[in-house]
Amino acid sequence: MKMKIAIVYYSMHGNCELVADKAAAITGADTMRVEPDKAYPDKGARKFIWGGKSALMGEMPVLKPYEFDAEKYDTVIIGFPVWASNPAPPIKTFVNEHKDELKGKRIAAFACQSGNGAEKAFSKLKKQLEIDSFVAELILIDPKTVADDKNDGKIQEFCKMVMN
């Protein structure tokens, strides 16, 4: 039987969306983008102040309505931008809303960042999910805006690990 995979992600500038779309094309996964009900500022100092504060304070913004049925999936890939060494707050909300349904699922994660902090963000996400490890992890530096020929190979390798 073919494994059923969902990719749940948040993307502010399209980096995570790019990775989610490429991973979905390789794995045949369904994708679902979560969005905060009230958008974050997306440029200038306000972006970093609001986003960083929200991430550091552990805020869980209300999300726009979405449908997610965890029972349909064996594996869930969670994708997010790294904000102040944390998963972006909309992902924190999603995980909180589906924590029980995600128990026993195979979970993988990818993070897009401009600087660093993804390892800490992965640790925090594992703690929130109450799991010890992901079936696969992927960290990319701004894959949409910083062209790197190695990114497609990294995404393919990540997907291979997810499908094993």
- Give pLDDT, residue 145: 85
Task: Please provide the average confidence, as pLDDT, over all residues in the chain.
Answer: 94
% of the chain at pLDDT higher than 70: 99
Report the Cα 75 to chain-centroid distance in Å. 13
The model carries a pTM of 0.94
Range of the domain at 143: 5-163
What is the number of structural domains in the chain? 1
Residue 159 one-letter amino acid: C
Neighbours of 58 (CB within 10 A): 11
Q: Quick one: residue 14, left, alpha or beta (phi over 0 = left, psi -120 to 50 = alpha)?
A: left
Q: How large is the average pLDDT for residues 72-99? A: 97
Q: Tens digit of pLDDT for each residue in 106-127?
A: 999 999 999 999 999 999 999 9
Q: How large is the average pLDDT for residues 144-162? A: 93
Q: Where residue 82 sits, what CATH number does that domain have?
A: 3.40.50.360
